[in-house]
């Protein structure tokens, strides 16, 4: 059995999810090891609202407009299976927005 770990998740630029989750910051417990495991667990626990926001079905991967930081450092989110997540990590999901 995999060890459960608690991570803090911050969402930046996701107003639809703020309404759904009632916060831009959540504490999440999951038993995976990678960013992919965390994302899949979020989909399982929070359903279609988060999946529709995070996942690009056309290319079957994390939406390219979403950047990810772990403990204040940007990581390569295009290959979430290669990004390790540790207990008490702080994972931030950023939605890139166009504007001027």
Question: What is the helix (H) or strand (E) element at residue 40, kind and residue range?
Answer: helix 35-46
Question: What is the percent of the chain with per-residue pLDDT over 70, rounded to a whole number?
Answer: 95
Average pLDDT of the residues of the chain: 89
pLDDT at 69: 97
User: Tens digits of per-residue pLDDT, 34-73?
Assistant: 999 999 999 999 888 888 888 898 988 899 999 999 999 9
Q: Which residues pair with 92 in a beta bridge?
A: 10, 69
pLDDT at 1: 54
5-95: CATH number: 3.10.20.30
For range 2-15, the mean pLDDT: 89
Q: Which pLDDT band holds residue 100 (cuts at 50, 70, 90)?
A: low
């Amino acid at each position: 059995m995999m060890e459960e770990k608690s991570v803090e998740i911050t969402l930046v630029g996701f107003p639809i999810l703020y309404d759904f989750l009632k916060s831009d910051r959540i504490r999440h417990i999951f038993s995976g090891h990678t960013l992919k495991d965390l994302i899949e667990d979020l989909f399982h626990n929070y359903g279609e609202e988060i999946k529709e926001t995070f996942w690009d079905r056309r290319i079957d991967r994390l939406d390219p407009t979403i950047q990810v930081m772990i403990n204040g450092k940007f990581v390569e989110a295009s290959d979430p299976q290669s990004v390790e997540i540790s207990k008490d990590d702080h994972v931030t999901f950023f939605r890139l927005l166009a504007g001027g």
